[in-house]
């Protein structure tokens, strides 16, 4: 099993790392413990490739040069969330 599949959020954390919604149990903007393999956000503009939400500066974020890595992480996130019963 991949290391990222074993990732668990901190106790009391209600933050959904895929959608960016929910209450955090800490003061961090992004989870400092989240494996990179679950990061579905563009590093440049923070467009969310899982939800398709954001305000990207490019015309089509899905064809942007930054897209391949976070797009590959979307399937990782879906697998991780499904294993934990997180709706998506």
pLDDT at 54: 94
| 43-83 pLDDT tens trace | 999 999 999 999 999 999 999 999 999 999 999 999 999 99
Given pLDDT bands bounded at 50, 70 and 90, which one contains residue 42? very high
Least confidently predicted of 16-20, 35-39, 66-70? 16-20
**DSSP 8-state code for residue 20:** T
- What is residue 88's predicted lDDT score, i.e. its pLDDT? 59
Determine the longest span between alpha carbons in the chain, in angstroms: 39
**Which residues contact residue 87 at a Cβ distance below 8 angstroms, ignoring those fewer than 6 apart?**
81
């Amino acid at each position: 099993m991949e290391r990222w599949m074993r990732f668990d959020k901190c106790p009391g954390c209600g933050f959904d790392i895929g959608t960016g919604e929910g209450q955090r149990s800490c003061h961090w903007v992004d989870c400092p413990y989240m494996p990179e393999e679950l990061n579905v956000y563009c590093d440049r503009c923070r467009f969310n490739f899982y939800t398709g939400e954001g305000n990207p500066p490019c015309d089509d974020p899905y064809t942007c040069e930054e897209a391949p890595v976070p797009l590959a992480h979307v399937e990782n996130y879906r697998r991780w969330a499904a294993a934990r019963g997180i709706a998506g």
